[in-house]
Amino acid sequence: MASTSDLHVAKLFSVKDYVCVVTGGGSGIGLMASQALAANGAKVYITGRRVEALEQVAKSHNPSGGGQIIPLGPCDVTSKQDLEQLYIELSSREKYINLLICAAGISGTKAEPSEEKATDLKSKLWSAETFESWGETYNTDVSAVYFSTVVMLPLLQAGSETHGHLSASVIVISSMSGIMRHAQGHFSYNAAKGATVHLAKLMSGEFQKLHIRVNSIAPGYFPSEMTTDESDENQKSYVPDEKIQEKGHVPMGRAGSDAEMAMAVMFLAKNAYVNGEVLAVDGGVLNVVGGR
């Protein structure tokens, strides 16, 4: 039985002494997650393809006390060789990890299916999309999540053995796009994110025997290089409210904030009674656009 003081937020969401790994930690949601974990005491290894971005994150966003953000890379998550090397490097530094966040992803090609004549729609979509571009999107947004998780299983299992049953976990960054019926002009991305949502559920069921939880966050519009095509000198992106309001289907009328993503990450990282869930953090979009 918990005393009232045991339920203080500082105790509930402390990740002091946690070891975490974030793919795609150099910008966007991966960076938001890394900041949240480090701010609450975790040692956070971030990886990605651009070493300069990772180093800038460590320079700009390391907390003043407690946790830390450590760049590790480069690592292309679509390369088994790179992932194996990442595992070897982590194993040389740490005996376990408590949390893996798979945040690396790409948006793929885009073509708005607005035409109402079949011949026009066929012409537009046929010329805009290729098997190669679909494959690249799927490999980065789905296959890479699978292999990034599988390569870390021994370290994750060791994390649960160290901190308690089902305490180690994976958070897959999927998207509201994977649970809606609106294509948003990018069929390949939405289809891949739908597969990512289901992959997280599959892994949650199959890996619980290793005492590893797997959950997914399905973000709405958050500032990132994927949504803005750029980052500032601190690897942060910005989306004006007007850009979100133009979409006409975001009840909050703005993009999500760093703090709102941080709260979602901390909840799934710490609540060991949650496994196999998809947490939509979307500003109410799925109340307006058909989903699930």
Which position has the higher pLDDT, 178 or 109?
A: 178
In a domain, 212, yes or no: yes
| Predicted local distance difference test score (pLDDT) of residue 265 | 98
| Predicted local distance difference test score (pLDDT) of residue 245 | 95
Q: Please name the helix (run of DSSP H) or strand (run of DSSP E) that holds residue 71, with its range, or none.
A: strand 68-71
Per annotation, catalytic residue among 34, 160, 167, 193: 193
Percent with pLDDT over 90 in the chain = 82
In a domain, 93, yes or no: yes
| Predicted local distance difference test score (pLDDT) of residue 169 | 97
Per annotation, catalytic residue among 18, 45, 87, 189: 189
In a domain, 176, yes or no: yes
Mean pLDDT, residues 49-65: 90
Q: Please name the helix (run of DSSP H) or strand (run of DSSP E) that holds residue 168, with its range, or none.
A: strand 168-173
In a domain, 240, yes or no: yes
Q: Which segment of 64-73, 149-158, 223-232, 266-275 scores lowest on mean pLDDT?
A: 223-232
Mean pLDDT, residues 7-15: 93
End-to-end CA distance of the chain: 37
In a domain, 2, yes or no: no
DSSP β-bridge partners for residue 19? 43
How sure is the predictor about 183, in pLDDT bands with cuts at 50, 70 and 90? Answer: confident
Indicate if the pLDDT at residue 224 is higher than 90. no
| Predicted local distance difference test score (pLDDT) of residue 184 | 87
In a domain, 8, yes or no: no
| Predicted local distance difference test score (pLDDT) of residue 238 | 85
Mean pLDDT, residues 233-247: 88
Mean pLDDT, residues 236-254: 91
How sure is the predictor about 164, in pLDDT bands with cuts at 50, 70 and 90? Answer: confident
Indicate if the pLDDT at residue 191 is higher than 80. yes
Average pLDDT in the chain: 93
Q: Which residue has the tokens 């009328």?
A: 253
Per annotation, catalytic residue among 27, 34, 174, 204: 174
Which position has the higher pLDDT, 247 or 166?
A: 247
SS3 272: coil
**CATH code assigned at 118:** 3.40.50.720
Minimal CA–CA distance to 30: which of 139, 99, 104?
A: 104
Indicate if the pLDDT at residue 236 is higher than 80. no
Indicate if the pLDDT at residue 260 is higher than 90. yes
| Predicted local distance difference test score (pLDDT) of residue 150 | 98
Q: How many CB atoms are located within 10 Å of the residue 162 CB? A: 15
Q: Is 189 a catalytic residue?
A: yes
**Total tally of structural domains belonging to the chain:** 1
In a domain, 167, yes or no: yes
Q: Is 174 a catalytic residue?
A: yes
Which position has the higher pLDDT, 236 or 161?
A: 161
In a domain, 131, yes or no: yes
Mean pLDDT, residues 111-122: 93
| Predicted local distance difference test score (pLDDT) of residue 292 | 67
Percent with pLDDT over 70 in the chain = 100
How sure is the predictor about 162, in pLDDT bands with cuts at 50, 70 and 90? Answer: confident
CA distance 241 to 153: 40
Which position has the higher pLDDT, 183 or 37?
A: 37
Q: Is 3 a catalytic residue?
A: no
Strand-strand pairing, 19-23 and 43-47 = parallel
Residue 179 sits in which domain range? 14-288
DSSP β-bridge partners for residue 27? none
| Predicted local distance difference test score (pLDDT) of residue 237 | 84
- Secondary structure (DSSP) of 89-126: HHHHH-S--SEEEE-------------SSHHHHHHHHH
CA distance 178 to 272: 25
